[in-house]
Structure 1
């Protein structure tokens, strides 16, 4: 029997990992053993503690849809040899990955005899969706990337509804209907909560992905070259108020930041999650006591180095 595959897509900060964690909980209840491929642009995954009890293969320092696709194929080769150890495969690409590139690898005869693509799940950040698609606030490369991620989806999760008004939600719905066909289900939610049975029980077709669109995607294989990721280690302890204020002051060209920090007066390590206009921090529950305080910043390359210098000046020991 082939192994069902779910490809997780969506721009930086949309909530892909939260949706994936909800799917992991569902697998546990269904007595399914998942395998997970996690891809990060940076050289380290600062969220690995979230998957301590899961079978996870990390592919770091590049994007498996193009620049390090060979690593992706090697991982699939490994999983094919170990197919009896898992029931379902989840693939979370980077926030700038184009899932059609992953799909085309999985459809190659070598892999299609073992893996069966059930769904391409695209997660969207409702709070930033319209601004990211606006020619007045985004580059043409970013706009094209977001359109590709949405238009290739077989299931769309419109996440973070708590951050938008009813009027803005209406505009979001209008824009979505311009981009996707009526046959693609759209689920509106917060905190990545999705109807598990709807996702797991139905195998979605990929017939709506035309050959013409695939050709367009090939022309944009490196359209995310304008995105850069930098990692900063040796982050000194800071007050929560100071760190949040600094993050909220950053320019729109920073699309994502995440990391592990110490807060003044607190014993625990804290997870930092930043997306534009949204900063969250919470204590990390982990058995790993050897964590290294570090931050990863992802954004447009012309701004990211300046942000790195500013952070090191303010918070590095």
Structure 2
């Protein structure tokens, strides 16, 4: 199983600096990293910072999440099938929502091969102080990236006075009390801090993958034991809490030859026929999902 770190953060926060320094530390430890990088434009500016011996896949002109999730799955499959590496680092665009980026990683095709250690969000400390100047939409995204982090890097601290450093640290810890927070400059974070994020996959009857330790955002990988009625399953979907953000995978429906491709996003449901017999498994992403009972899984 490959350890995966997802680097998040607003535009210009210092994610690429974090990425290059993490790669350096991994190589010094004798570990081989691979990188999946997303950029919004047509040209791969940030990827030029990655050395030639590092397996690298890029997504240009799009987001690693949402509409780009299928492309992301294809890139990840290529990496897993064709490259030898120990650790995967995914650097999202600054415009990516962390939940959606995590959703793109958790394809049912290879979810059990990847151990997501956690979301590391780099925060531009000066931008935090000036967040009121952002448009409402951008401010919301900025705050979401921070709220869902498992490790927060309060970056660019070298540009601020000690009083402002203390103010930002207190405010960020209050805003996301479950994340570990460290002060950084130039995006440099000790590898040991990343390794403390304890993503695990248990081999119970219902496989559960917890992202980080004692954190709200988590995932579950659910294997179906029997087919379910489509109406029954949709009735169940209407009862789930709003803290379930994403579900996708292959659901075995009574009366169909193969499990159907299923996607759920913020209350919206999509079914598509599948012409190849896929493993009946779905991935759930959300908060407080440990006790969720899924029809057909027990």
Q: Is 1:176 equivalent to 2:182 in the alignment?
A: no
Q: State the TM-score, normalized to the length of structure 1.
A: 0.63
1:166 deviation in Å? 2.3
2:29 counterpart residue number: 30
1:99 deviation in Å? 1.8
1:103 counterpart residue number: 102
Q: State the TM-score, normalized to the length of structure 2.
A: 0.66
Contact map agreement 1:100 1:214 (CA 8 A) in 2 = no
Contact map agreement 2:34 2:55 (CA 8 A) in 1 = yes
Which segment drifts farther, 13-22 or 202-211?
Answer: 202-211
1:155 deviation in Å? 0.5
Q: 1:162 to 1:187 in 2, by over 3 A?
A: same
Contact map agreement 1:10 1:16 (CA 8 A) in 2 = yes
Q: Is 1:161 equivalent to 2:160 in the alignment?
A: no
1:188 counterpart residue number: 183
Residues 50-96 of structure 1 deviation map (CA, whole Å, 9 limit, x = unaligned)? 1132211111011111232221111112123125x111100000001
1:101 deviation in Å? 1.2
Q: 1:196 to 1:78 in 2, by over 3 A?
A: same
**Separation in 1 of the partners of 2:161 and 2:72?**
40
* 3-state SS of paired residue (1:197): helix
Contact map agreement 1:105 1:111 (CA 8 A) in 2 = no
**Separation in 2 of the partners of 1:105 and 1:98?**
11
Runs of 4+ in 1 over 4 A off after TM superposition: none
Q: 1:139 to 1:123 in 2, by over 3 A?
A: same
**Separation in 2 of the partners of 1:111 and 1:206?**
24
**Separation in 2 of the partners of 1:213 and 1:188?**
30
Q: Is 1:209 equivalent to 2:208 in the alignment?
A: no
Q: Is 1:144 equivalent to 2:140 in the alignment?
A: yes
Number of residue equivalences: 214
Contact map agreement 1:64 1:93 (CA 8 A) in 2 = yes
2:270 counterpart residue number: none
**Separation in 1 of the partners of 2:245 and 2:118?**
21
1:201 deviation in Å? 4.5
Contact map agreement 1:154 1:184 (CA 8 A) in 2 = yes
Contact map agreement 1:154 1:206 (CA 8 A) in 2 = no
Structural RMSD (CA): 2.3
Contact map agreement 1:41 1:62 (CA 8 A) in 2 = yes
Q: Is 1:20 equivalent to 2:19 in the alignment?
A: yes
Which of 199, 221, 227 is matched with 2:194 structurally? 199
1:111 deviation in Å? 2.1
Contact map agreement 2:173 2:179 (CA 8 A) in 1 = no
Unaligned runs of 5+ in 2: 199-211, 219-240, 247-264, 267-298
Which segment drifts farther, 48-57 or 114-123?
Answer: 48-57
Contact map agreement 2:40 2:63 (CA 8 A) in 1 = yes
